[in-house]
Amino acid sequence: MLSDQKIKAFIPTVDPDRAKNFYMNVLGLNLISEDYYGLDFEANGTLLRISTVQQFTPFPFTILGWEVDDLSSIIHSLNRRGVLFERYNIINQDKSGIWKAPGGVDVAWFKDPDGNLLSLTQYVNSSVTSYEDN
């Protein structure tokens, strides 16, 4: 029923102006509309709605992620734009914050201005494929 329909993702913000700047100017997403209730961005075919809320507590896990071709390059580019990547004591990450997961997947995490945890993933081993390869 919904397998052939587009997904719309939602992320909360308490400060839409700050979120707008981050998602548009730092991450480079295309703002397609905004209203009192939030912001809509186009993200490579997915609609991302940044919903304005009065308050919330960010989840301690990833709520949105991107599959990328060159993780190191994107990390360096985002670092230059002021994005800091998360460090976790329970996994072994390189100096850029990349965790080489078992099976050939590289992952790095960063937060938006509201503390929402976002991720970047690169499939580096031919034995692991993205959902698009299936």
pLDDT in tens, 4-37: 999 999 999 999 999 999 999 999 999 999 999 9
pTM listed for this prediction: 0.89
Q: Which residues of 25-57 are buried (b: 16+ CB within 10 A; e: fewer)?
A: ebbebeeeebeeebbbbeeeeeebebebeeeee
Question: Euclidean distance between the first and final Cα of the chain, in Å?
Answer: 19
Surface-to-core class of residue 63, CB atoms within 10 Å of its CB (0-12 exposed, 13-18 middle, 19+ buried): middle
pLDDT (tens digit per residue) in 85-130: 999 989 999 999 999 998 889 999 999 999 999 999 999 875 555 5
CB 110 within 8 A of CB 65: no
- Residue 113 has a pLDDT of 98
The Cα 69–Cα 42 span in angstroms is 19
Domains and CATH numbers, the chain: 7-55 (3.10.180.10), 57-128 (3.10.180.10)
